[in-house]
Structure 1
Amino acid sequence: MSIEVRVPDEQEGTKAVVRAWLKKVGEAVAENDPLVELETDKVTQEVPAPAAGVLSEILLDTDAEAVPGALLGRISVGEGKPTPTPFVSSEVATRLPAQGERPSTWLGTNGDIETRLSPSVRRALLQHDIDPSRIHGTGRNGRITREDVDRAVTMATVSHVDGGDKAIAQPRVAEPFAASDIPHDRMRLKIAENMVRAVADAPHVTALFEADFSAVAAHKKALAERGVKLSYTAYIVKAAAQAMAIAPAINGRWMDDRIAVSSTIDIGVGTALGDKGLVVPVVKDAGSLSLEDVGAKLDDLTRRAREGQLTGGDVSGGSFTISNHGVSGSLLAAPIIIHQGQAAILGVGKLEKRVVVRTVGGQDAILIRPMAYVTLTIDHRVVDGHQTNAWLTRFVEILESWPSA
């Protein structure tokens, strides 16, 4: 009897490729064992074994395109008994390579981490001479993923000290600049493909406003004093959801015969992953969530994004997107490319103190306020300037009139 292994449907059309098989044909697997890694332009996800048995057939091999529902392989059940995954002894696991020794002789881990490494992870560990026992695995059951290795390579370099008896991770030391080509990885290629298609399909137009965050800052400080810590992004998401009432088409998308307006406000928030690009996890039905719930959801999504633990469902189904590019120091970015299939994207620049003129007691006054530029880039097929400006006016009004905590 055979059990089919298929690409999960939850990718909702996101193009994926097979990154690596974690088991070989003829190898025993237990139910829910990580079986194969799939990679999209947004996430890498593991497909677990749907049943215990023996992997009898691989139909989509490494680098093959994997559309939702596609048949990946088959597991024979009743013909073999899954065996526990072997672990390397503690002596081997904790031993560090001697000076000049290739890590292939110690490519194992202790009992806290699975020793089964995917081919791509094994190649990366060998390439960068990294001891896997020094990497915290974020995959299922603590298994090391390729993102874990990439993160280790980016954040630290393994240096041998004390005559080679120890290996510790140290911050990279600044070196003289040397130009070198950077090969494309799959995520970068998919991001490029999506960006080009989005610009080609949708005529982009950007409107610029300015927002005073004084009321939000006061509310945020008052909550913090009560032990409730929220990011400014939580306020931005909540205000964006509330502003949709003034121009519902901004929460829609262009179709050949109509403008399809989403029944829920599902807001994606761009999250940078360093040199690996970015992902856009989605706060589902943000319009029905309280401010505190939005904050909790954002914290969870951001943490899992940076740990490489997002699923296809976490990054799909968005109806509107926010690019909080100001967190990296940018005052203004325009146009910000609209997420394909959406009508608009909100950009929020760096929050900084600026001198502004306000009317106080009937007189003009020069004040210092926390200000940020906010932009709305729209698909001009879906909405016009009047709706764009009305939405931004309402969005800024919500932020500037945030009630006291």
Structure 2
Amino acid sequence: MSASIDITLPEDQLEGTSATLLAWLVKPGDKVTKDQPVAELETDKVTMEVASPADGIIAAQLVREGDEIAPGMVLGSVSGAEDSASTEASPSESTEQVVTAAAPSTPTCNGDSGMLLSPAVRRLVRDHQIDLSGIEGSGKAGRVTKSDLLEHIAGLPQTDRLIEAPALPKTSERKPAPEAATVRTENATGQRIEQLPRAVETVTTGGSTLRPHSTMRKQIAQHMVESLLHTAPHVTSVFELDMSAIQRHRNANKKAFEAQGVKLSFTSYFIAAVVKALQAVPEVNSRFHGDALEMFHDANIGIGTALGNDGLVVPVIHRAQDLNLLGIARRLQELTDAAYSNKLKPTDMRGGTFTISNHGVSGSLLAAPIIINQPQVAILGIGKMQKRVVVEEINGVDAMVIRPMCYLTLSIDHRALDGYQTNKFLSIVVETLQNWS
């Protein structure tokens, strides 16, 4: 009889952060194959799966759904393949040694019996009354994924897409409200965002609704407080940018980019300008240590991406200094598409050295300070582009002209940077964009 093999979360998967166990995808006594998903975790950034380390049988589940998981933690174990016969012969004997996790009481819906489904998939199946028998899964071993269902739902007639949730009961007691159906919204660029509530809301006697925080929201809150109040003294500098040059360039080139399957967004120009400024002012592309400033050679640019009420993620364009405008636009599109469809991998959000927050896409003119994404030392904010009257000198005479303008902010960690580096960095970004050709 071979020894059991531990099911663990690799240390390098979370970069030292923690996660929450969303669900076990298997039960004690189930046969599994190597690399088959056996558990689903949620971090402040992504939902990820933990795979079986070997072929065999689930021998133990040592953590329960909702428990916090740290890197390197043992979640359970898999017995060796040669144990299969004895385990199958006496299931009662094997299950006596298993620490079981509380399984969610999710009703079987339209043919999903026996299928390996994540909680997010089960919610979609239930909310839309989907028959899974006609859907070919793209996951491992033909598993139906959330993306498979979202693609299927997008092809349904509009009247069949949503099941309306009943109204919240008006009562003096706190009672669970029904789970809301999938919410579909669009961001300022027209990208559709699918939002799934992760917890049931409750109604209070005071005429309010309580929405439990997701793991992502809890960790975002902790990260923001830690950065602003406990780590970095924030200072923000504000510059104004005339976007006429990049507007002209984009209008002249966006069709050529589209012919190559790439959307040319204004954010791509900002990333290119930031790379140039980081190379000129390397102190901004750094990390503060008590005894030294660590300046990075690669410009790994994180892009803050809002996911509606679910929170935000920061996918990273690695080694952006090696990419031209087309390469930046292509990689940006790949990462944002992955973010909105919940397909980001942990590696997509590691190693960022500088972050851009394009808050203007949702209408904001100015935001200050934007909280620094630790352990970085600065974050660039981009406000909404808006036509404004400005004064320019034309042929030696001041004239009022209309220009597409926006505000740029750089929030800095004042331990690492001063006004000199801050204003030099912003000056280069503005000069690069205003003279784009």
Fold conserved between structures, TM > 0.5? yes
> Which residue of 2 is the match for residue 164 of structure 1?
none
For the pair 1:13 / 2:16, whether they are aligned, the reply is: yes
Which amino acid is 2:7 matched to? V
For the pair 1:189 / 2:218, whether they are aligned, the reply is: yes
Instruction: Give the drift of 1:169.
Output: 8.8
Instruction: Give the drift of 1:402.
Output: 0.9
Map Cα deviations across residues 350-383 of structure 1 (whole Å, 9 max, x no partner): 0121122222233323222211100000000000
Structure 1 residues 258, 171: closer, same or farther in 2, change over 3 A? closer
Distance in 2 of aligned mates of 1:78 and 1:261: 50
Structure 1 residues 345, 117: closer, same or farther in 2, change over 3 A? same
Map Cα deviations across residues 322-344 of structure 1 (whole Å, 9 max, x no partner): 10000000001111111121100
Which amino acid is 1:181 matched to? L
Picking from 5, 26, 49, the partner of 1:3 is: 5
Structure 1 residues 133, 394: closer, same or farther in 2, change over 3 A? farther
Secondary structure of the equivalent of 2:218? helix
> Which residue of 2 is the match for residue 217 of structure 1?
247
Instruction: Give the drift of 1:314.
Output: 1.1
Distance in 1 of aligned mates of 2:106 and 2:38: 25
Map Cα deviations across residues 51-95 of structure 1 (whole Å, 9 max, x no partner): 32211222333233322232222222323679xxxxxxxxxxxxx
Structure 1 residues 353, 62: closer, same or farther in 2, change over 3 A? same
Distance in 1 of aligned mates of 2:34 and 2:17: 26
> Which residue of 1 is the match for residue 236 of structure 2?
206
Distance in 1 of aligned mates of 2:327 and 2:17: 27
CA contact (8 A) 1:103 1:130 kept: no
Picking from 48, 59, 64, the partner of 1:61 is: 64
Secondary structure of the equivalent of 2:278? helix
Structure 1 residues 18, 147: closer, same or farther in 2, change over 3 A? farther
Instruction: Give the drift of 1:313.
Output: 1.2
- Unpaired runs of 5+ residues, structure 2, are 86-104, 166-180, 186-206
Structure 1 residues 38, 231: closer, same or farther in 2, change over 3 A? same
CA contact (8 A) 2:54 2:78 kept: yes
CA contact (8 A) 1:6 1:69 kept: yes
> Which residue of 2 is the match for residue 163 of structure 1?
none
Secondary structure of the equivalent of 2:69? coil
Distance in 2 of aligned mates of 1:44 and 1:129: 20
CA contact (8 A) 2:127 2:162 kept: no
Distance in 2 of aligned mates of 1:312 and 1:338: 20
Equivalent residue runs for 1:284-295 within 5 Å: 284-295=318-329
> Which residue of 2 is the match for residue 95 of structure 1?
none
Instruction: Give the drift of 1:285.
Output: 1.1
Structure 1 residues 147, 397: closer, same or farther in 2, change over 3 A? farther
Instruction: Give the drift of 1:103.
Output: 8.6
Equivalent residue runs for 1:331-346 within 5 Å: 331-346=365-380
Map Cα deviations across residues 132-187 of structure 1 (whole Å, 9 max, x no partner): 448998865553459979xx9xx974049xxxxxxx99989xxxxx7422221211
Question: Which has the larger displacement, 346-355 or 139-148?
Answer: 139-148
> Which residue of 2 is the match for residue 247 of structure 1?
281
- Unpaired runs of 5+ residues, structure 1, are 83-101, 161-167, 173-177
Distance in 2 of aligned mates of 1:293 and 1:360: 37
For the pair 1:399 / 2:399, whether they are aligned, the reply is: no
Picking from 264, 273, 286, the partner of 1:230 is: 264
Distance in 1 of aligned mates of 2:84 and 2:245: 64
Which amino acid is 2:427 matched to? T
Structure 1 residues 182, 170: closer, same or farther in 2, change over 3 A? closer
Question: Which has the larger displacement, 297-306 or 6-15?
Answer: 6-15
> Which residue of 2 is the match for residue 118 of structure 1?
118
Distance in 2 of aligned mates of 1:7 and 1:253: 27
The percent of aligned pairs where both chains have the same amino acid is 44
Which amino acid is 1:202 matched to? A
Distance in 2 of aligned mates of 1:190 and 1:147: 28
> Which residue of 1 is the match for residue 335 of structure 2?
301
CA contact (8 A) 1:233 1:324 kept: yes
Distance in 2 of aligned mates of 1:301 and 1:287: 17
CA contact (8 A) 2:257 2:264 kept: no
> Which residue of 2 is the match for residue 325 of structure 1?
359
> Which residue of 2 is the match for residue 158 of structure 1?
163
CA contact (8 A) 1:138 1:309 kept: no
Structure 1 residues 4, 131: closer, same or farther in 2, change over 3 A? same
> Which residue of 2 is the match for residue 354 of structure 1?
388
Which amino acid is 1:57 matched to? A
Instruction: Give the drift of 1:31.
Output: 2.7
Question: Which has the larger displacement, 337-346 or 140-149?
Answer: 140-149
> Which residue of 1 is the match for residue 309 of structure 2?
275
When normalised by structure 1's length, the TM-score is 0.81
Which amino acid is 2:5 matched to? I
The CA RMSD measured in Å over matched residues stands at 3.2
Which amino acid is 1:131 matched to? Q
Structure 1 residues 179, 273: closer, same or farther in 2, change over 3 A? same
Structure 1 residues 3, 337: closer, same or farther in 2, change over 3 A? same
Secondary structure of the equivalent of 2:236? strand
Instruction: Give the drift of 1:125.
Output: 5.9
Instruction: Give the drift of 1:5.
Output: 2.4
Map Cα deviations across residues 288-314 of structure 1 (whole Å, 9 max, x no partner): 211111111111111111111111111
Which amino acid is 2:215 matched to? R
Distance in 2 of aligned mates of 1:256 and 1:328: 37
Distance in 2 of aligned mates of 1:294 and 1:235: 9
Distance in 2 of aligned mates of 1:138 and 1:327: 33
